Homo-oligomer: A and B are copies of this chain.
Amino acid sequence: MGDVMVQKREELSRETVREGDLAKQLEALKRQVENIKPGAEDRMSIVVFSGDLDKVLAAFIIATGAVAMGMEAVMFFTFWGTSVLRDSKKKAGGKDLMGKMFGFMLPKGRNAIKLSKMNMAGMGTGMMKSLMKKKNVASLDEMFEMAAELGVKIYICEMSMSLMGFKKEEFIDYPNLEYVGVATFLEQAKNSKVQLFI
């Protein structure tokens, strides 16, 4: 009986050692986990700064490609990019002189933008568009449709709108269009897996 008790006592103390060990290991693991910063969210955030046909096309190909892969996609149109979102059939009144001038000089929507290179007075841009048709590459019109259907979010930079004198009523109809400041975009971009400046 006494032997059994001794054995038990030994077992118990062994247990206690092993358990204290487990507790220590658990503590160490907890600290380790706390130090691991969480990975980014499955989202692609693109700044569309450019208003060039080739770059805007690239932005849409990448954004829709990302959604096709199961990611979210957010496009933040700023500076020259805002022109791309103008609706050629819409008009906005109440602009000051500068606003009217910018409105006149900047391309009116996605069908008025040009290639960044080899535009050659429009010839290069025309060639590229006819090539895209021939090779079954989606046009910018089709890209916008696809993006809308896939749920790609489009943000318009409010500061750029104000600078260029653009009004909300002259932008395209798009299901996920929002007018935001740079902070709102950065908040989204910060925790995205991918960020691009195009």
Residues of A within 8 A of B (CB): 1, 4-5, 8-9, 11-12, 15-16, 18-19, 22-23, 25-26, 29-30, 32-33, 35-42, 47, 49, 51, 54-55, 58, 61-62, 65-66, 68-69, 71, 78-80, 98, 101-102, 105-106, 117-118, 124, 127-128, 130-132, 134-135, 137, 159, 162-163, 165, 182-183, 186-187, 189-191, 193-198
Contact = CB atoms under 8 A, between A and B. Distances in A.
Given A4-B5, A5-B4, A25-B26, A37 B37 contact: no
Contacts of A11: 12
A11 B8 CA distance: 11
B128 A163 contact: yes
